[in-house]
């Protein structure tokens, strides 16, 4: 059996009404040594996951009768497990709603299976760190002017107001904030956000930066601390 780089044999629940997604994703994760339990019906998943909580749940948002957000809301009333949302929707408000509902990460369809695998590993790693009271290689809280980052709790605040970030966004921002004023190339940001070699083009990093800026502008319309140096990369300016 092939084991994954972190938490081999973890139990993962996959809930999606698309049987092709269930088959392809479960095959991918099983090859990495995870135990996979698949559900095409949200009600059945709610009963099963409540009775036997997995280490991680991957939920499709757009499902009939009970969508992924409602399923997560009901799960949170009884158990606390890490959750990754899958969705075909593009609107940023859906991402914010998903994160506000308590999701740990958010991946849009169609997605790279390697990208999903990296997000699964990252969320499981963080969840295991919470159980142990620490996160491997995590730093203590980073405070840069109005910005505060707590890697142990995956919490971000700006002027004391919480800012909801995905795992990828948090790691990119953490990389920038570690050394204010120093320029980080897209390659450096990519290395900080992913554990293994996963190819993404420059526009992917640019998209993450764009979403980061929008989320901070929701709590401070004058936010300008993530600066672009065209042709070079990005830097964090402490204010």
The CATH number covering residue 114 comes to 3.40.50.2300
Task: Please tell me the distance from the alpha carbon of residue 128 to that of residue 135, in angstroms, as a whole number.
Answer: 8
Question: What tens digit of pLDDT does each residue of 52-84 get?
Answer: 999 999 999 888 889 998 999 899 888 878 899
Question: What tens digit of pLDDT does each residue of 7-62 get?
Answer: 457 999 999 999 999 999 999 999 999 999 999 999 999 999 999 999 999 999 88
6 located within any domain: no
Question: What tens digit of pLDDT does each residue of 101-150 get?
Answer: 667 788 888 888 888 888 898 788 767 755 554 444 456 789 999 999 99
Number of domains in the chain: 2
Q: Which of 132, 165, 190 is the last residue of a domain?
A: 132
Which residues form the domain of 184? 142-236
The CATH number covering residue 209 comes to 1.10.10.10
pTM: 0.63
């Amino acid at each position: 059996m092939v084991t994954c780089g972190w938490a081999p044999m973890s139990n993962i629940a996959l809930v999606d009404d698309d049987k092709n997604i269930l088959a392809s994703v479960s095959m991918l994760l099983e090859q990495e040594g995870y135990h996979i339990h698949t559900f095409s019906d949200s009600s059945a998943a709610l009963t099963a996951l409540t009775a036997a909580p997995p280490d991680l749940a991957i939920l499709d948002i757009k499902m009939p009768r009970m969508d992924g957000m409602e399923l997560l809301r009901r799960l949170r009333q009884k158990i606390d497990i890490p959750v990754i949302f899958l969705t075909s929707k593009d609107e940023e408000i859906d991402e914010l709603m998903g994160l506000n509902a308590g999701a740990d990460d958010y991946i849009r369809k169609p997605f790279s299976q390697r990208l999903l695998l990296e997000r699964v590993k990252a969320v499981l790693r963080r969840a295991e760190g919470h159980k142990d009271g620490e996160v491997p290689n995590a730093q203590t809280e980073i405070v840069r002017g109005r910005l505060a980052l707590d890697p142990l709790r995956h919490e971000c605040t700006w002027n004391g107001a919480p800012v909801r970030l995905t795992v990828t966004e948090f790691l990119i921002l953490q990389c920038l904030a570690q050394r204010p004023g120093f320029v980080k190339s897209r390659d450096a940001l990519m290395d900080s956000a992913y554990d293994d070699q996963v190819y993404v083009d420059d526009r992917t990093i640019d998209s993450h930066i764009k979403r980061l800026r929008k989320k901070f502008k929701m709590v401070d319309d004058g936010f300008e601390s993530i600066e672009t140096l065209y042709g070079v990369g990005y830097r964090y300016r402490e204010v």
